[in-house]
Structure 1
Amino acid sequence: MSARLMTKTAAVAALCLLALPAMAHPGHGESVGFLAGFAHPFTGIDHLLAMLGVGIWGGQQRRGLGQSATFLGMMLLGALAGMVGLTVPGLETGIAATVALVGLAIALALALPNWLGMGLVGLFALAHGNAHGQELPAASATCGFMLASAILLAAGRFTGQVLAERMLRVAGVALTAAGVVLMGIA
């Protein structure tokens, strides 16, 4: 498959994903248990792409699990803040920006010092966690979205380790484009 065809295929796939409704955000009032929390990262395109992207970037760098662990820990802190009513201004736009930024990091094969990469991922996670905590304030839902997030991060990490560099860069471009579109509709 040529690079041009792969780029077109990735762009079409990203646009198809954007056509999905952002079901992770509205109307969780009636169902906030473990299953609602577990489904949340899979049903919100912004959360899904960001967590896969963070995993891919970590796998691409071939370092330890520091970025994934940082993401999970900081997401939990952000969720706790959201549960007690602390909100982040411009949260939806910020979450969409995390998708674009992690896509850019993948596309450029950005290799930051470990502490800086973990700091950046930690900031991304605070935003995602804050949104989760506001929308799903039950402890059981928190357990659900933490488990789902760990699964997505691991899947992304595996992908980042096994895909050819050219495919990773195409995926990064697609994530960046998706993030920019999401920022436009946030």
Structure 2
Amino acid sequence: MLITSTKKVLSTLLLLALIPLTYLTVVTDGWQFVAHSTSISSTVIATILMMLAVGIWSAQLGGRALWFVPLTFTGLMVIGTFLSYTHLSLAMANAGILLSVVVMGILICDGTRFSTLVAAGIVGFFALSHGYSYGRVLANSGELEFYLAGIVLTGLILNLSGELSAQFFMQKSSKHIRVRVGGIILFAGIILIMSY
């Protein structure tokens, strides 16, 4: 009974996450670059993986990290977007996005535990790169409001999906599942870096 209801909740959350992603990639002119650029597509995939990974790692950390770490990621991603509209420059923002997936894969796979503030600092650092990179692309599109609404909604839904997945799948055989999930994220990050 619990397994069936958890699967339904996860399926619903993942479908809800697709709504803003579909809107951002198909409807708005500012996101038509996704279909035209392999490198940008890699960063979009990396961002989706990062959002799920933040949720998974938050669930592993438990306690305050369950809400503080995902909210930090989302908030600093928004701040990173606004930074792209200033004269500040974040060198290697795209590299930071791709590296973030590898780092999160390692942290999940290893079961690394930090304090909530340190964990929030790690994901926040990478969130600035994610937000800044997308903000640069959107700077001339006039689609900032749609992007911000979509990224906040999608981010929180994917973070929650990651948390629920971690709590559901890692209950019984936590080490084996943790290593597999972290390994998949790590491997995906390496593939994304190689294809960039």
TM-score by length of 1: 0.74
User: Shift of residue 172 of structure 1?
Assistant: 0.2
* Secondary structure of 2:53's aligned partner: helix
Change (3 A) 1:147 1:76: same
Structure 2 residue aligned with 1:143: 149
Amino acid at match of 2:84: G
Task: Give structure 2 stretches of 5+ with no counterpart.
Answer: 1-21, 35-39
User: Shift of residue 151 of structure 1?
Assistant: 1.0
- 102-111 or 61-70: bigger deviation: 61-70
Task: Give structure 1 stretches of 5+ with no counterpart.
Answer: 1-23
Amino acid at match of 1:151: I
Measure, in 1, the Cα distance between the counterparts of 2:162 and 2:81.
22
Paired residues, number? 155
Structure 2 residue aligned with 1:158: 164
Structure 1 residue aligned with 2:54: 54
4+ residue runs over 6 A deviation: none
Check whether the contact 2:49–2:101 (CA below 8 A) recurs between aligned residues: yes
* Secondary structure of 1:110's aligned partner: coil
Check whether the contact 1:85–1:134 (CA below 8 A) recurs between aligned residues: no
User: For residues 1-150 of structure 1, what are the structure 2 equivalents within 5 Å?
Assistant: 31-32=29-30, 44-64=44-64, 65-84=67-86, 86-137=88-139, 138-150=144-156
Q: What do you get for the CA RMSD once the two structures are aligned?
A: 2.8
Check whether the contact 1:56–1:157 (CA below 8 A) recurs between aligned residues: yes
Which structure has more helix as a fraction of its residues? 2
TM-superposition CA deviations, 1:27-77 (whole Å, max 9, x none): 99x6138xx9xxx99x92111111101111001222221101111111111
Identity within the alignment, %: 27
* Secondary structure of 1:75's aligned partner: helix
